[in-house]
Amino acid sequence: MVARDPHRFVNELDQVAIDRLIARLEGRAKNAVFTRLFDKYAEHLAAGESTRVLEVGCGTGATLRALASRRDFSGKAVGVDQSPHFVAAAQKFAGEENLAGRVEFRVGDAHRLDFPDASFDVVFAHTLISHVTDPVEVLREMVRVVRPGGTIAVFDGDYASMTYASPDHELGQRMDAALVTASFNNPRIMRDLPRLMPELGLKLKAAWGDAVVEIGSGSYFRSFVETYAPYIKQAGLAPADLVDTWLAAQLQSMDDGTFFASCTYYTYLTRRE
């Protein structure tokens, strides 16, 4: 069997799996461990009353809704995602939060955006680029639809750095690698972006990294491993009983206060030349 990133192939998943991903995306959006990372760069996306902002790969719209809810944002916010189920969820959640008139969600392919050239002042991708089929093509499309001088922001994890502690270090390394392979099509893409950006006509304005770490207890990493560990078994990357035993040990360590997990995330703010 071959690993198939569930977000990349979301339109081939059954409803149970889709509902699990929706819950994961919405839960992550409310997790203080993770939301602080968006808050660090959101102010760079919200300038100007007439600012036109596009989020590529918006998922359930959680990040775009957070942006539209900011006091310093009064522009137009549009989100695109390949999954009709995610877009329907995004529209539903926006209505529940009284944001339906401030955000717009569409079904679309990040590799072929259905917008004219230079349609937006800001285009951003929040944990998208690690999942797509062709990162360079997606970035090229983001460059195309942003105006000259406009901002492109990319936020994602360097998932080759993701690790869950295990008293058996060899097993821990094996399961870390299996979890990442099962979950991400491009786990090292953030290492490549500084080299790729100039080739795409982007000038790096600012960049930084943040370690997401949970020690003792787990919330962000609990949701992550509960959502994605089953894909290790589906891909045949490790025996099912081994995955179940490893997962049970991770959850037990969260309960007894001995847990450790970490991953490094990066934010790139760029300008289209």
- DSSP labels for 241-263? HHHHHHHHHHHHHHHHT-EEEEE
CATH code for the structural domain at 10-272: 3.40.50.150
**Strand extents, DSSP E, 132-246:** 146-164, 202-216
pLDDT at 48 over 70: no
Mutual angle of helices 189-199 and 135-145, in 10-degree steps:
50
Q: Which residues of 199-224 are buried (b: 16+ CB within 10 A; e: fewer)?
A: ebbbeeeeeeebebebeeebbbbbbb
pLDDT at 259 over 80: yes
Confidence of residue 22 (pLDDT cuts 50, 70, 90): very high
Lowest pLDDT segment from 43-52, 135-144, 205-214? 43-52
Kind of pairing between the strands at 76-81 and 103-107: parallel
Average pLDDT, integer, range 9-36: 94
The model carries a pTM of 0.96
**Strand extents, DSSP E, 110-226:** 120-126, 146-164, 202-216
Domains in the chain: boundaries: 10-272
Express each pLDDT in 178-203 by its tens digit.
999 999 999 999 999 999 999 999 99
What's the confidence (pLDDT) of residue 50?
76
